[in-house]
Structures are given as structure tokens and as C-alpha cells.
Amino acid sequence: GAVEVNLISEARNKGTKWFVNTIVPHTHSDLYSYSSWDFSNDPEKLKANLDYLKAQAPASAIFGKEHVMLGEYGAPQLREDVRTADRQREITRKVTRAAVEWGARYVVYWQVFDNELKDDGKYTGFWIRDNNGKRTPVWNLFRDMFTTNKFPAS
């Protein structure tokens, strides 16, 4: 099984008592998953948070200390700090690469179709296929990575 945590940045930076630093050290799980909505899509902060989770989690009987995964990440295209499909792709490329290079056992993108419709009826853009079913640049990024088994330079 897997244990999933979030809010690692606050625990790591401020010492706040969260699940990651109070409960996780006393668990025994195959995998430890980071639901990563608290690091502002900064690859260095992501790596620091993955390091922190790895340090908190006891070794797994199956995977040893190579038991950390990125369980949720993404860049909502229509959020103010992202704004465009190309920017969404670039953020996704950098974060995906950082997680893989760090050694995350699995990296799971959130998500194929947007699930966050705002009160005004507008989407946030959590997607790799937009609300009309059109493939986005993030779709093409993943297609290219899986086809070539390489990260695009940009």
C-alpha cells in the first residue's frame, strides 16, 4: 500500500507538526506519496520536499529507502501564475524532470480532464485534454517523452 501526504513545505520550513513528521515516522508502508500542491511548481522546492518525506519515512520491505513517489502534481493552465498552455507545458516539463532525476519511484500527473469548475462556470485548466477534448501541449509533452524515453530540452 501507499501513504499519501501533503503540506510538506510547512513542516519542512516551519517545523509545523503535520502528518508527514508526526505520523509517517511510525508507519510501515510500501510507498510514500507526495500530493504536491504546496511547492509553487519550483523544482528545487519539490526536491527538498521529497528529501524531507524520504527522511521521515521508514524503509519499505519492498523498496527500501527508494520508496517515495510524486502522487499528484500539475499546473492549472488558467490559473493566474500559469495563464497559457505553453507555460503549463514548461512547468510540467521542469517538475516532471526534477521528480524523475530526484529518483521518485512513480510520478503521477493530475489529471487528464479538469475537475475544478469554478463558481462562475470557468475551468481552472487542470488537464492534458481541455474541456473540448483537444490535446494540449502537456499531452504532447508526455507523448513525446513516452515515445522517445527522453525529456525534451525545452
* 128, 138 Cβ separation under 8 angstroms: yes
The tens digit of pLDDT for each residue in 47-65 reads 999 999 999 999 999 999 9
**What string of H, E and C letters represents the secondary structure of 109-137?**
ECCCCCCCECCCCCECCCCCECCCCCECH
Question: Residue 116: what pLDDT?
Answer: 84
Residue 81 has pLDDT above 90, yes or no: no
Q: Alpha-carbon distance 134 to 114, whole Å?
A: 12
Question: Residue 154: what pLDDT?
Answer: 79
Architecture of domain 2-148: Alpha-Beta Barrel (3.20)
The tens digit of pLDDT for each residue in 63-74 reads 999 999 999 999
